[in-house]
Amino acid sequence: MGRVRPKGGGRVSAGCPTLCRMPLSPPPARPDLLRRLGLGRRGRTLGLATLVVVDAAFTISAFDLQRRIALGLGSDPSAPLTGLGGTISVLGMALAVTVVWRDRWPVALTLVGSAASLLAHLGPTLALIGLMTVIRLRPWARTYQLAPLVVLVTAVATWRDIDVEPRSMSFWAIFLGQEGAPHSWWVPVLLTVAAVGGFVGLGLWLRTRADLHTAEDVAASERQMVTTLTDQVSRQTERERLAREIHDGLGHNLSILSVHAGALEAMAEAAGDELVERPEGADAVEWRTAAQLKESAQVVRETAAKSVSELHSLLNILRNPGDADVAAPTKTLRDLRALIDDSVTAGMPLVATVYVEDGEAMDPPVAQAAYRIVQELLTNARKHAATVPVRLTMTGGPAEGELVIGTANHLPPPRWPPTHDGEVRPGTGLVGIRERVEHYGGDMQWGADAEAVFRVSVRLPWTLVDGADRREA
């Protein structure tokens, strides 16, 4: 029986003519959102680098002009830079590039920016950016160690800029509109406090925002953990209640059935002995009836005993779902022969073809699921089409990486034609099989064709998928 793989995902429906599969993992983040986040960070880096370049341009121009005046080379601001001025300008451009690594080495960036400001007559912007990043990413001890140095560097650079001659080369004089006016002592102090306070305040805001996001993530994680624990407790309570109900109800009924089946078997054996001792003898019909009665009673008794054993295993699993010894699979592919023989013995017209290569190598939970799926498929066929021949196929192996199970049988006339909407309604058995299949990362399809043949196809992976990708039933 062939299988058709769809191009897209979708849930399985009863009349689905093609194989529908559910996605096993959430969709990835949208690329446009990732691009926006990347552009945001690059934009901030470009803005900070531009501040360093502007600061370096003013300070280098002022320093080179003062040097040319001292050397008697003129005072034209538009003249080319001297050799020393050009070297410092290259250094300033290189320092602007280091802003890219501010998050990785903020302490080193602060120290380099401070040294460049004091020794190369550059501005304090790079040191201020480094201090801001230290506040955002490093322990407070580093901030307390570096803050005095950055304040000193900023004060020296501000005083040097305010005191530059000619005043037209002063950044702060142009910014404040006081190129020709004298300045008071408190002006550089106020500018130093404003510059350092601005960058420190921005660093504190960024750190507070990051801490808030971290706290929100921790709170969300704890809420999720509490929800998970609550669900686990609720499920365990429900398992305990369900185990009690099954034990008190179904266990009692199976025990009564086993007792009565044993009594019926004894009565059939006694009836056979009576036929042997009858003086006039017994005909063939009576002998066949007695033998069939005894055989049926024996099958009922053995089935009831098996059901009681499996019921105890199920109750242990319900009460101790995390115990590996309790929850270990009790049925494997090796037990399929007995399952098929039991179905045939019970009078089911079954034709089975099972070809599985190296079935012992299959993961035990998947093998247990395959056994239960075959068991439920045969039970459904026996329930809804008891007198109709059923075709069972099972193929697979490690080379294929999957196990394929299929059944096919004609629908009896009361169930054909289908309902007015053209679909065969699934029962709880098929729904349970689908949930079991999805739990192990497989897929399933079912439906009836135009010839009233009801087909079910199940594909299970040969090995278990990772827990992150496994769908919970």
148 pLDDT more than 90: yes
Tokens at residue 245, please? 């109900």
More confident residue, 391 or 365: 391
Look at 92-101, 171-180, 344-353 and tell me which has the smallest mean pLDDT: 171-180
pLDDT in tens, 183-195: 677 778 888 899 9
Q: Does 329-473 carry CATH code 3.40.50.10490?
A: no
Contact 364, 335 (CB under 8 A): no
Q: How far apart are CA 109 and CA 129, in angstroms?
A: 8
What average pLDDT does the structure give for the chain?
75
| Highest mean pLDDT (candidates 175-189, 327-341, 432-446) | 432-446
Question: 439: exposed, middle or buried (C-beta count within 10 Å: 0-12, 13-18, 19+)?
Answer: middle
Fill in the amino acid letter for 121.
H
Report cis status (omega within 30 of 0) of the bond before 166. Answer: yes
Which candidate, 421, 408, 473, places its Cα nearest to that of 447?
408
pLDDT band for 324, please (50, 70, 90 cuts).
very low
Q: How far apart are CA 335 and CA 300, in angstroms?
A: 19
Query: What does the DSSP assignment read for 158-211?
Result: HHHHHT-SSGGG-HHHHHHT-SSS---THHHHHHHHHHHHHHHHHHHHHHHHHH
Beta partners for 407? 392, 456
Residue carrying the six token digits 């003086």: 279
**φ, ψ for residue 378, nearest 5 deg:** -70, -35
Residue spans in the chain of domains classed CATH 3.30.565.10: 329-473
Query: What pLDDT is attached to residue 468?
Result: 35
Look at 107-121, 160-174, 426-440 and tell me which has the smallest mean pLDDT: 160-174
Question: C-alpha distances in angstroms, 124 versus 109, 157, 177, 336, 430?
Answer: 12, 6, 21, 80, 73
Taking the mean position of all CA atoms in its chain, how far away is CA 308?
Answer: 39
Q: How far apart are CA 94 and CA 87, in angstroms?
A: 11
107 pLDDT more than 90: yes
Query: What pLDDT is attached to residue 78?
Result: 62
- Is the entire prediction scored with pTM above 0.75? no
Tokens at residue 57, please? 């341009």
Look at 34-38, 352-356, 449-453 and tell me which has the smallest mean pLDDT: 34-38
Contact 243, 251 (CB under 8 A): no
29 pLDDT more than 80: no
pLDDT band for 53, please (50, 70, 90 cuts).
confident
85 pLDDT more than 50: yes
Query: What pLDDT is attached to residue 471?
Result: 38
280 pLDDT more than 70: no
Look at 20-34, 245-259, 265-279 and tell me which has the smallest mean pLDDT: 20-34
Residue carrying the six token digits 């036929």: 275
Query: What pLDDT is attached to residue 307?
Result: 75
Look at 146-160, 278-292, 295-309 and tell me which has the smallest mean pLDDT: 278-292
Dihedral of alpha carbons 296, 302, 305, 311, sign: negative
Tokens at residue 147, please? 């803050």
Query: What pLDDT is attached to residue 282?
Result: 58
Per-residue pLDDT averaged across 215-219, rounded?
Answer: 90
